Amino acid sequence: MKTYHVITFGCQMNERDSETIAGMLEDMGYVYTEDPKSADAVVLNTCSVRENADKRFFGVLGQLKNPHEARPGMMVCVCGCMMQQQHIIDQLKAKYSWVDLAFGTHNLASFPELFKNASSEKKHIIDIWQEGRAISEGLPAARAYDFKAYVNIMQGCNNFCSYCIVPYTRGRERSRRPEAVLSELRQLAASGCKEVMLLGQNVNSYGRARSVEGSYCAETDEPHLDFAGLLREADKIEGIERIRFMTSHPKDLSDDLIDCFRDLKHLCRQIHLPVQSGSTKVLKEMNRVYDREKYLSLVRKLREACPEIAISTDIIVGFPGETEEDFQDTLSLVEEVRYDSAFTFIYSVRQGTPAAERKDQVPEEVKHERFNRLIDAIHRIQEEKAEQYRDAELYVLTEGFSRTDDTMLTGHTESGRVVDFPGDPSLIGKMVKVRITKPQTFSLYGEVIGQEA
């Protein structure tokens, strides 16, 4: 049998797309192998959000040159967000002749046909659509787990933050019809899936606009479900024990959605709410369409509705024009909110975005110095919050072996905390009750004291 390997860079949506690519390859008769250099087909699913992802992609792609030359039948394919940028395509054509197929984010459903053509005709194919269309339904998927799953509910973004390339690579917002999403959730529940994460570049704006013919619009289409309404319907599905979602834009976080954290039985008391900066001036220049006080008011509302909610965030350090005063605003916001976790990034120029054209780029040494101060503050708060879990008894969905200790099992609490604990591999995929014995900054350690029926 022929073998395949898919390498994924970037976000959860890319991971979900890679499951579809894997499913398509398996439908074509390929079987998975862990070694990309020995695979008959290798697919690199790219991310363009950060400069580091670009460098990693080209580094991995370079490693495939010799295996491809040694095995003429080997297929090397690249796809994803980077392919939507013309300068990347130009670079591939000029320097990476061993790439057999390149396609973008909008024509994922065409992959089997493109792959067969490139393979049978022994020619290089580059097929990039510049505009997105309605989301294709019924595509196969080789899911990474059977007890938890990613579920796309929409694609694209209409926000055009001045630093972000995503609207240019993923296109305008397109929402799936509610019945398609709910049907997928019911099928997952019937197959034993316990936890789902609903995905979108901005899930809060689900169904708000019909940017593309065939996409769902809650205002005009039946049923009239916005994101909060979709969550309420998902909460009714028997078998799904946990519901999460990513990512939530503050400008579209409604009171109704906030109330869901109070009202819904299966919605995890956790939200990822990217702030990006604590400075109102910087937020305006980022085109985030909210200010510091609006963001803080949302945090207060969330904690009033659900006092135990865990809040995580994204923060960018060194956006063009950021002053020390602006950075101090970010530090003070971090101290006020006291995030449970935070993804922190040093601003990197993304060709094609408004921020890339600015002349007031912050010097690299200043960005790194501020980044280190921010990390220190976040880690201190995380350590203090972790200590509150000592002796707590928490339910953990066992997901596999720990990345740091393969003699330990690992999983997540409802609030998203990583917990490592000793146990039999038969617990993988099951919900267990764990007493926390050793809280640490990034993970908790505990012992199993029970198992959910």
The per-residue pLDDT for range 258-308, each reduced to its tens digit, is 999 999 999 999 999 999 999 999 999 999 999 999 999 999 999 999 999
Region 97-117 average pLDDT: 97
Q: Are strands 101-103 and 242-246 parallel, antiparallel or unpaired?
A: unpaired
pLDDT bucket at 210, cuts 50 / 70 / 90: confident
Q: What is the DSSP letter of 329?
A: H
Region 200-222 average pLDDT: 92
Q: Which domains does the chain have, with CATH numbers?
A: 3-127 (3.40.50.12160), 148-386 (3.80.30.20), 393-451 (2.40.50.140)
- End-to-end CA separation in angstroms for the chain: 41
Sign of the torsion angle spanned by Cα atoms 20, 23, 25, 30: positive
Which pLDDT belongs to residue 53?
85
Which pLDDT belongs to residue 132?
87
pTM: 0.95
Which pLDDT belongs to residue 310?
97
The per-residue pLDDT for range 137-147, each reduced to its tens digit, is 999 999 999 99
Contact status, residue 301 vs residue 258, Cβ threshold 8 Å: yes
The per-residue pLDDT for range 301-317, each reduced to its tens digit, is 999 999 999 999 999 99
Contact status, residue 408 vs residue 422, Cβ threshold 8 Å: yes
In whole angstroms, give the CA distance from residue 374 to residue 368: 10
Tokens 């099951």 — which residue? 430
Contact status, residue 245 vs residue 269, Cβ threshold 8 Å: no
Region 59-66 average pLDDT: 97
Region 149-177 average pLDDT: 95
How large a percentage of the chain has pLDDT more than 70? 100
Which pLDDT belongs to residue 407?
93
Region 348-356 average pLDDT: 94
Which pLDDT belongs to residue 213?
85
Which of these, 443, 404, 444, 401, lies nearest to 424 by C-alpha position? Answer: 401
SS3 at position 287: coil
Region 47-74 average pLDDT: 92
Which pLDDT belongs to residue 125?
96
Q: Which residues have CB under 8 Å from 228's CB, separation 6+?
A: 254, 256, 257, 259, 260
Q: Is the pLDDT of residue 452 over 80?
A: no
Q: Is the pLDDT of residue 453 over 60?
A: no
Q: Is the pLDDT of residue 121 over 90?
A: no
Which pLDDT belongs to residue 451?
86
Which pLDDT belongs to residue 72?
86
How large a percentage of the chain has pLDDT more than 90? 93
pLDDT bucket at 44, cuts 50 / 70 / 90: very high
Q: Is the pLDDT of residue 331 over 80?
A: yes
Burial 107-130 (b: 16+ CB within 10 A, else e): bbeebeebbeebbeeeeebbbbee
pLDDT bucket at 446, cuts 50 / 70 / 90: very high
